[in-house]
Amino acid sequence: MSSLSASDLTAVSAAPQDADAQLDDDYRLAIRIKDVRVDYRTIVNPRANTLRHTVTNFGRKSKDRKVRMIHAVKGVTLDVPHGKVLGIIGANGAGKSTLMRAIAGILPPSSGEIVVNGRISTLLALGVGFNGQLSGRDNVVLGSLAAGLTRRQVDERFEQITQWAELEHAIDLPMKAYSSGMYGRLAFAVSTHLEPDVLLIDEALSTGDAHFRRKSYEKMQELVGQARTIVIVSHGLAAIKEMCDDCIWMHQGEIVRQGKPDEVADEYLEFQGVPRPKRKENAEDETADDDVDPLDDAMSMEDI
Ligand SMILES: Nc1ncnc2c1ncn2[C@@H]1O[C@H](COP(=O)(O)OP(=O)(O)OP(=O)(O)O)[C@@H](O)[C@H]1O
């Protein structure tokens, strides 16, 4: 991967707007993010990073403790109109998941403002919100009620959710007995069957076996067809290109590019030192871009 200096990439920023324009936008937009910063406060103690030190100093407060602020998201401004599918790409540690957690309301921004218009459903980390001690059944019911569904709606959707996840046989087991793939399947099924206005998905397409990855991808396309607003974080660039209307590339907490998924993803690949995939002009070439399976991990940055 090439190293990046501030002059190589400039953060994308939004123009200021007046109060009327803001009201229009509030109506038109599903998500409005205005100059959002998210900082993590961590305690660093270089000498304490050994087992010996931890054991011998157990219960004592170390004098070497230092507070370090990690600026994970640095002044991001972004609008997502209703019915659009936004992809977020970027290297490990770029701030993608942090931004998603802030949009979901799990992590309050250190400064700035986030407004989400509509019912939000999240599929962020596997099983966030699930309780391992409870059965799959109880988790589906509680998760759906917590998301704002009525008891009647939950009853109506319960069968669909368990059937989609193909977990009827395991639905009464405590979820701590589930494999990570089963966990992911149920999490995906719940979040996508809640009929959210805004769906946030962080790397969910990479969970499960090949059958479920395909099924998840098709479910997402169904939601895209229903004009739901979706934000997807993924290292699978082919899926981003296939599904998204718009794409942002985050780097070190900032948005450095925003635009058509094809163009932003190719530029990102090039920056990472990976050759651009061949484009359609080369239609006779079997390796042309359009022939790439959107679920093919060959396009995943995890492999780079
Ligand atoms: N709980 C935390 N406490 C302290 N720092 C954190 C925490 N979570 C993330 N960070 C830091 O915030 C920065 C952004 O992390 P984040 O997980 O948002 O990146 P990401 O783009 O989602 O990365 P990846 O592609 O690896 O998932 C990183 O420097 C990371 O070390």
Domains recognised in the chain with CATH numbers: 82-107+119-279+290-303 (3.40.50.300)
Per-residue pLDDT of the chain (304 residues; tens, 9 = 90+): 445 543 455 555 444 556 666 555 666 899 999 999 999 998 877 666 677 777 777 777 666 678 889 999 999 999 999 999 999 999 999 999 999 999 988 899 999 999 999 888 877 654 556 888 999 999 999 988 887 888 999 999 999 999 999 999 999 999 999 998 888 889 889 888 888 889 898 876 566 688 888 888 888 888 888 878 999 998 888 889 988 999 999 999 999 999 999 999 999 999 988 776 665 554 444 444 444 455 554 334 333 2
pTM over 0.80: no
Which ipTM value was assigned to this complex? 0.98
Q: What is the pLDDT of residue 285?
A: 46
Q: What is the pLDDT of residue 252?
A: 96
Residue-wise DSSP of 114-169: EEE-S-EEEE-STTTT--TTSBHHHHHHHHHHHTT--HHHHHHHHHHHHHHHT-GG
127 CA distance to ligand 1 middle (Å): 18
**Ligand 1 shell residues, CB under 6 Å:** 40, 42, 70, 72, 90, 92-98
* ∠ Cα 107 109 111 (to 5°): 165
96 CA distance to ligand 1 middle (Å): 8
18 CA distance to ligand 1 middle (Å): 34
What is the number of alpha carbons within 13 Å of residue 12 lying toward its C-beta?
14
How far is residue 59's CA from residue 80's CA, in Å, rounded to a whole number?
48
Which atom of ligand 1 is found nearest the CA of 95? Answer: 18
**Distance between first and last Cα of the chain:** 9
124 CA distance to ligand 1 middle (Å): 13
